[in-house]
Structure 1
Amino acid sequence: MQFSQLMSLFGAAALVAATNTVTFVSTDQTDRTIYFTPNAGYPEVAPVEVPAGQSIKSEVPQSWIGNWYSVSVGADNIPGMLGEVAFQGWNDLTYFDVSAIVTPGDHDGVHEMWPAQGHTPTSGCAEFPCNNAYYLWDDVQTKTTPETDLICTLGTGASPLNAGEEVPAVKRDFMKANSRHQSDKLRYPPFFSWDSFRLSPPPKGAKRNSGWVGFFHLEDMKD
């Protein structure tokens, strides 16, 4: 998945230790098993069984990048709707989304994700389809939070979330662009909303500082 590839550019750079958790909340009467798929080079996470109507908390390693999917009891083990996450990512934030890119027709597994304490922003749908999940690779749907504890709902029952005010999402292109050539003094707001920026060669005659490779300019990437 492109999400994992982009997150891996900065996920391993986190220095501050934290305990990461995902609490899987069953909203119906179906038993399920959660299967985790780490990005290349990241540790495996053991599958988690989530009984019908119950909540199970799973610990995830420091700076882990990857995804998970749900398999209902008796069903074949085939990836469906994905929960994607990068813990301790750029600026020490948690990046997450619900992705329908692999199996958009899976409406029985992963549904919504949100931070456990703040309850916002959310990703995913109480009922699919909706405009709050990844369907195309360049959708503006990746959400960020400083929290390291996430909730992920499973199944077709009523969502337990009373959603608060939403925060802007970011494009995956933004995270790719910000992963290189970034000064330690360069910091953006937690929910950076520019579509993209690029490095350009300096104008003719301009002086270059040691190690400087160009000048920043903003580029409008709106459709």
Structure 2
Amino acid sequence: MLLVFARPGVALAQYEVLTDRTTITLAVVADPDVPGRVNLRAEVVSAFGTGMPDGRITFHDMATQRVLGWTSVAQPQITVEGLAPGRHMLRADFSGSTGYMPLITLPSQSAEMPLDILVRPVLTLSSSDEVIAPGGLVTFNVAVAGTAGVPGGAVTLRDGDEVVIAHLRLDQAGMAAFTTSALLSGTRSISASYEGDGRYAAAATQIQQQVTSPLAAVTPRR
């Protein structure tokens, strides 16, 4: 509370200016389908537990010292597009308000929220032979590539819902291979699921593998 008095020589008078402390919190939701798209929503609450009638909210990326956008407390939400891969530290600032004098709402800052934006990798899966006989050997090759260096991590291969090999580690070139003779006859749906790492998001792909019928391998008698 601030007491303001009139100047000397003027009739004695005083009035009261009240200050109201505020708290701002930030919620960050990344779009799982669009790398770099993030929804930012802030909430400003007064010390009396009520919302703010006016004032501006500014969203910052403290890692890059960039202002991401601003909005009013009436609509305290924005969507940011195109955040670069890497670690971001996001913060929301409330400007305060003098629009309801003699009540002054004080400015406030939210805690910094860490956000990691991952690169979407290019995942390829190939077979050493498109058609094999029952019990025949086939090698599945997986390659993971992207713009943030050689990916690390592991992949899991599946035949339909059945796991062929789990957590197969990528090598120093971002590749992995696995050989099996356990595929059953028919058209097999072979999938590779990349688990991601600190720079790359998870990804999946699949191919069709033909395994001939045992009867097709028998030469009919004449």
Query: Do Structure 1 and Structure 2 share a fold, with TM-score over 0.5?
Result: no
Higher-strand-fraction structure:
2
* Structure ranking higher on relative contact order (CA contacts 8 Å, 6+ apart): 1
Q: Provide the TM-score with structure 2 as the length reference.
A: 0.24
Report which of the two structures shows the higher radius of gyration computed on alpha carbons: 2
Higher-helix-fraction structure:
1
